Amino acid sequence: MVALKLNVVKQPYYVAAAGSVPIPIITPPVFDQLLAPEVAKVAAIAVGKRANAQVKRQAKMLFTAFRGLPILDASLRAIAKLDRKTQVEPSVAIRTVTEGFISHSAAETLGNAAFSVLDKVSPANSKFAWGIVALVPASVSFVHTASTFNSFSPQSPWSALLPFVFTLIGAILAMLIASPAGWLLSSLVSYLWRLRVPREYRQRGRNWAPLKHACGFAIAMALCGTLAGIGGAIGWWPTVTKAESEATDFAIRHTPQGSSANQYLVNLESAHTEPKVDTSASGEGVLREVQRILIQKKYLRGVADGQPGPRTNAAISAYKRHEHLPASLPIEELLIQMQEMSR
């Protein structure tokens, strides 16, 4: 057994070794002092919950600073070659390069900073590309779910459970179907970004990594569509169909008459227009009684005043859809049907 006394940065260290060829058994954190300015700089940038974002904002400055030190330059190159499994702990690459002569906390600080820097200057994927692709299935999921829940009835809320599950599954399947396009676009964009840095600093592609977040985005849009459909069915706000109709009307009014775009919008509006409830020939008492039953069944909110309006029309349309009644059913016959169902 021998003891080697080393003086590093004016501090004594004792390294125990055994055998004719000294093999360190105790590895003092030499690089904690050698890299103290860099650790302090990273620690000053990465403070609190916004650490990752702040490090990324300073990525170019840190990238230049790290490349100026041989040990950190080697660390950047080592982290750039990590695969998907080993990149979870970038501090391991720091400890490997420094041969263990660094504390775990300093290695973790520098490893996370180096990984964030590389992820900014040499991205392994493009979240923006995935966001563009995910916008299509997410929008389709929102519209489809909102249209599905337009016939929601407060009287039987549990009947909406199965359609709700199907909408969530449909949103995930739609995102999975679109995922190859997301992977392809992300691969192209991230590859072009990585060409800006030397080859030794280019990370391996991880273009499937954003798929989980894309599926979460599609599910969130389906949930928003559920709330929009239920609120429209109850009468809290216009249904998606009505909002789409109003948007189409606005576009028709603001496009030149006779143009191809105007004609297309007119045809689209005529194909999707919901038949309006005709109450002009009906007595005020009939409409008031219909409103009273709709309020009782929670299709409508407010007071039964016998006056027609958009909320009353939307509530009557929702009631007809839920009870599978013809959309063109006159209000007098509708009242008879409602009274028979209430008995």
Boundary (domain end) residue, out of 256, 274, 292: 274
Tell me: pLDDT of 207 over 80.
yes
Residue 18: pLDDT band by 50, 70, 90 thresholds?
A: low
**With a threshold of 0.75, does the pTM exceed it?**
no
Question: To the nearest 5 percent, what fractions of the chain are helix, strand and coil?
Answer: 65, 5, 30
Tell me: pLDDT of 191 over 90.
yes
Residue 20 lies in a domain: no
Work out the average pLDDT over 52-79.
83
Q: Please give the tally of structural domains in the chain.
A: 4
Residue 85 lies in a domain: yes
Query: Which residue range is the domain that position 330 belongs to?
Result: 284-342
Residue 11 lies in a domain: no
Nearest CA-CA partner of 97 in 197, 26, 30, 3 = 30
User: Does one domain contain both 269 and 315?
Assistant: no
| Strongest mean pLDDT among 200-209, 246-255, 266-275 | 200-209
Boundary (domain end) residue, out of 83, 99, 121: 121
User: Does one domain contain both 92 and 141?
Assistant: no
Q: In sequence order, what are the residues at sequence separation of 6 or more whose Cβ sits closer than 8 angstroms to the Cβ of residue 3?
A: 14, 15, 16, 17
User: Does one domain contain both 138 and 223?
Assistant: yes
Residue 148 lies in a domain: yes
User: Does one domain contain both 249 and 162?
Assistant: no
User: Does one domain contain both 332 and 310?
Assistant: yes
User: Does one domain contain both 161 and 231?
Assistant: yes
| Burial bucket for residue 89 (CB in 10 Å: 0-12, 13-18, 19+) | middle
Tell me: pLDDT of 51 over 60.
no
Angle between helices 284-296 and 331-342 (to 10 degrees): 40
Residues 92 and 200: their CA atoms lie apart, in Å, by 19
Boundary (domain end) residue, out of 121, 136, 161: 121
Least confident range of 222-236, 240-254, 261-275: 261-275
Residue 213 lies in a domain: yes
